[in-house]
Amino acid sequence: MAEEKTLENVPRHVAIIMDGNGRWAKARGLPRLAGHRAGTENLRPILEASAEFGIEILTIWAFSTENWSRPEVEVRGLLRILQRMIQRDLGELHKQGVQLRYLGRLDRLPEGLQKQVLDAIELTKDNDRIVLNVAFDYGGREEIVQAVQHIIRDGIPAEDVDEALLSSYMYTAGQPDPDLIIRTSGELRTSGFMLWQSAYSEYYITPTFWPDFDKEELYRALEAFGQRDRRFGGIKDDYGSSRQARKGKDKA
């Protein structure tokens, strides 16, 4: 089994754009919602595998600010999936030490669902096996807009606004930025996902549709991440030292 090998540099925070549910369903002659249901079933094993691999935070993008424009039946179906996930799976998630967080506009969800989400966050807030960020009614630009609005409402003077302050007004306040962002179904765009937080994230794009993305493929994504050379805009020590060495030679 691949997972018997030791992974190097396991990312602390992995974020997933769970794309391709609709195409997965279409390929099987099923309605789009069947794809979303299959995608939902896939969450549990991927969450479990993430915890096993030592990931501290898993972020999943379940509904974008643009998804409200989808047919009503699909929007209602996705809201129902969120509701069922809380009603049906919360007890088990809590037992397994999962801390739930919500990233996105909560105020546009039906009132009853807003309360369920807040209760779930409160119930699980001290769990520390893994954090599951559910990005729902989430948009990266919208997140930045709401952060700026809050900063202005809080009366923060312009000269006090810096990157750390802005980070503390994002939905992910207090969390490290995602190290690795996975997008399924092969699309080569960010769609604004974690626009602020992704400045130095590594990307892993796979043609696999989300319902088929399994533990083996998560492992391969982590393996690929482990081989990336992350410089955060700087230069590597060995490169730096070889430049020094060359300088010395030039002088000699």
Phi-psi group of 191: left, alpha or beta (phi > 0 → left; psi -120 to 50 → alpha; rest → beta): left
Annotated active-site residue 19? The verdict is: yes
Q: Does 101 bind ligand FPP (CB under 6 A)?
A: no
Catalytic choice (9, 67, 89, 214): 67
Report how far residue 78's alpha carbon sits from residue 42's, in angstroms, rounded to the nearest whole number.
Answer: 15
Q: What are the two backbone dihedrals, phi and then psi, of residue 99, each rounded to the nearest 5 degrees? A: -100, 120
Among the listed residues 14, 33, 81, 120, the single contact to ligand FPP using CB under 6 A: 81
Residue nearest ligand FPP by beta-carbon distance: 22
Q: Does 36 bind ligand FPP (CB under 6 A)?
A: yes
Among the listed residues 33, 34, 40, 169, the single contact to ligand FPP using CB under 6 A: 40
Q: Does 208 bind ligand FPP (CB under 6 A)?
A: no
Cβ within 8 Å of residue 236, ≥6 positions away: 229
Report how far residue 183's alpha carbon sits from residue 189's, in angstroms, rounded to the nearest whole number.
Answer: 9
Subset of 136-155 contacting ligand FPP (CB under 6 A): 136
Q: Does 18 bind ligand FPP (CB under 6 A)?
A: yes
Q: Does 192 bind ligand FPP (CB under 6 A)?
A: no
Q: Does 19 bind ligand FPP (CB under 6 A)?
A: yes
- Cβ-based nearer residue to ligand FPP, 196 or 209: 209
Write the burial class of residue 2 (CB in 10 Å: 0-12 exposed, 13-18 middle, 19+ buried): exposed
Up-side HSE of residue 45: CA atoms within 13 Å toward CB? 14
Q: Does 183 bind ligand FPP (CB under 6 A)?
A: no
- Cβ-based nearer residue to ligand FPP, 67 or 167: 67
Span interacting with ligand FPP, options 81-89, 146-154, 162-170, 235-243, rule CB under 6 A: 81-89
- Cβ-based nearer residue to ligand FPP, 135 or 151: 135
- Cβ-based nearer residue to ligand FPP, 18 or 170: 18
Q: Does 47 bind ligand FPP (CB under 6 A)?
A: no
Q: Does 82 bind ligand FPP (CB under 6 A)?
A: yes
Subset of 215-234 contacting ligand FPP (CB under 6 A): none
Residues designated catalytic: 19, 67
Q: Summarize as ranges the residues that interact with ligand FPP (CB under 6 A).
A: 18-23, 36, 39-40, 62, 67, 81-82, 85, 134, 136, 185, 210
